[in-house]
A and B are shown apart, each in its own frame.
Chain A
Amino acid sequence: MKVVNQLLLEFKSISENVAFARVSVAAFASQLDFTINDLEEIKVAVSEAVANAIIHGYEGSDGGLVRVHVLLTDSAMEIIVEDTGKGIQDIKKALEPSFSTDPERMGLGFVFMQSFMDNLHVESAPGNGTRVKMSKAPSTKMSAAQAGH
């Protein structure tokens, strides 16, 4: 699939930037035929991925950088959220619902990313950061494709 547009954001690992990231990505995504509901779901997925990078990757420290790369093809969007923080010990376990190291958190970040995006792929190694890659096609186009048009 040919990339028709792309966006690269890099920002400090502070919680104020979570809203900036999700709103920017959703605004960029609106170049495709996403519904308002799709865009709301994309916002949640981006919020979770960026919050994970800040809270878990950098353990709340503001000394890290979070990088968000968005690629648009004519029919879908791919979002890559990367940090160079502490990484995930056990990715399989981290993807399970209600896995959280903090009792006030619900451990649902990856559940929302999986529920709201079409694909989710997580690469990580302890000490080597985390790379979350997720993609989504507009619901309308998916419905048309499923209907055989």
Chain B
Amino acid sequence: MELDLEYQNDNLLVRVSGEIDISVVDSLRQSLDRAIQEHKVAHMVINLQRVSFIDSSGLGVILGRYKRLLAAGGHVSLVGMQPHVKRVLEISGLLRIMKEYSSEAEAVAKVG
């Protein structure tokens, strides 16, 4: 798994690539929490375009960050899910509470 973080005002753009399972979730969780804390992030856009696999451990990391930002009045938005990744998010119910956008720019414009 590789992680690219970009800050735009109080928005954090998270570009993840590779496979998200229990072998990487601790490191992913720590990186995101540190970024939220150090840069006073209100809104997180997670770009999953290059994610080829995700299971419930990866969804747990997304949900945990969602709860944290929501409690502070922020949001988490999703961009670029491949169909099989999207299916996992649909079954989990995460797509009922998080919005999906067609691009990072649109996600930032809508809530940023």
A interface with B by C-beta (< 8 Å): 15-16, 18-19, 22, 37, 40-41, 43-44, 47-48, 51, 54-55, 103-109, 111-112, 115
Q: How far is the CB of A18 from chain B (nearest CB, A)?
A: 5
Name A's interface SS: helix
With a 10 A CB-CB cut-off, give which of A37, A47, A55 has the most chain B CB atoms: A47
B63 lies within 8 A of chain A by Cβ? yes
Contact A51 B84 (CB under 8 A): no
15 A–B contacts, CB within 8 A, in A order: A19-B21, A37-B84, A40-B84, A44-B53, A51-B22, A51-B57, A103-B64, A104-B29, A104-B60, A106-B92, A107-B56, A108-B92, A109-B55, A112-B55, A112-B88
A-B contacts, CB under 8 A, total: 61
Query: How many whole Å from A141's CB to the nearest CB in chain B?
Result: 20
Tell me the complex Cα distance, A107–B60, Å. Answer: 9
A15: chain B residues at CB < 8 Å are: 21-23
Alpha-carbon distance between A22 and B64 when the two chains are bound, in angstroms = 25
Distance of A77 Cα from B73 Cα, bound (Å): 47
Other A-B contacts than A48-B56, A108-B91, 4 sampled, CB-CB below 8 A, are A18-B22, A41-B84, A51-B57, A103-B64
Whether A105 pairs with B21 at a CB distance below 8 angstroms is no
Which residues of A are found within 8 Å of B53, using beta-carbon distances?
Answer: 22, 40, 43-44, 47
A47 vs B55: C-alpha distance in the bound complex, in angstroms? 7
B56 touches A106 (CB 8 A): yes
B84 pairs with A19, CB closer than 8 A: no
